[in-house]
Structures are given as structure tokens and as C-alpha cells.
Structure 1
């Protein structure tokens, strides 16, 4: 269950369009900032393959200028832990 959070920067004047595109995608939750031209995006996918497919879809959105990873948790330690050593 990979969980990632991103700062999504829309193209000039495309913040509302970006929010609509993100809201239409499964496994995504978008929260636009009130006072800046940025959108916080949280993704929660069932597996790594789905996460990779979603990331590919995200990078192809026409209203998206840049996508910066802020946090990521893959949950694949194999030992019941967090996978970090």
C-alpha cells in the first residue's frame, strides 16, 4: 500500500483544471492551497505496479507543470516493519 504526497504545480492559470483532473483519478486526493498556486496531492494505491501506472498518468496531465515528491511510504519491508534500516 504505497502512500505518497506531492506538491503539484499547475501550468499558468490551470489550477482549477488540474484539481478537476486529479479529482477524476482513482487513488488520488487533491487539496488546493488557498493562497498559492499549488495543489497538495496524496496518493494511496494498493500496490507498487498501480503506483507506477498512476505516476505515469500524472506526469502526462496537460495542466501539470511540475510534480515534486514530498513524502513516500512503500510499506514493503517484508518483516512487518517499515522497511527502513
Structure 2
């Protein structure tokens, strides 16, 4: 399962709106910073294909000014 975390800088004045939009997306959990205009986004998908679709959807959000991945790994499935 791909699990990634990002620092997300919203466009000016869009932090709350962006946090809500990201929270409503499947495979996403958002943690807003209390003292900065930044969001922490953690994603967890079931496959690399779902991860790619999620990445494409995130790239379409105009309220994201900058998004930087800070950690990412893929846990192998036991079969």
C-alpha cells in the first residue's frame, strides 16, 4: 500500500476551504497546522494505480499553491 505525506501550501485565504476539499477526497487525511498557513496531507491507497489517479486529482486542485512530498513508502502485500 503506498502511503505518502505532503506539506501543502494553500493559495492565500484558501486554507480552510482546501482542508475541507482534501478531507472529502478518498484516501486522504488532512491535519491543519495551528500556527502556519500549511496543511499536512497523508494519503494511503491500495495500489500504485489508485495512487496515480489520486496524484492526478490532486494536481487539478487550483487552491494548492505548493505541495511537497516529505515521506513515501510502499508496503508489500502478503499473499
TM beyond 0.5? yes
Shift of 1:21: 0.7
Mapped partners of 2:74, 2:18: distance in 1 = 25
Mapped partners of 1:66, 1:60: distance in 2 = 12
Contact 1:59 1:67 in 2 (8 A): no
Residue in structure 2 matched with residue 55 of structure 1 by the alignment: 55
> Larger Rg: 1 or 2?
1
After TM superposition, the structure 1 = structure 2 runs for residues 23-38 of structure 1, keeping only pairs within 5 Å, are: 23-38=23-38
Mapped partners of 1:52, 1:75: distance in 2 = 16
Q: RMSD over aligned Cα, in angstroms? A: 1.4
Runs of 4+ in structure 1 off by over 4 angstroms are none
Residue in structure 2 matched with residue 83 of structure 1 by the alignment: none
Shift of 1:75: 2.3
Higher RCO (CA < 8 A, seq sep 6+): 2
The answer for unaligned runs of 5 or more in structure 2 is none
Paired residues in the alignment total 78
After TM superposition, the structure 1 = structure 2 runs for residues 67-82 of structure 1, keeping only pairs within 5 Å, are: 67-76=67-76
The answer for unaligned runs of 5 or more in structure 1 is 81-85
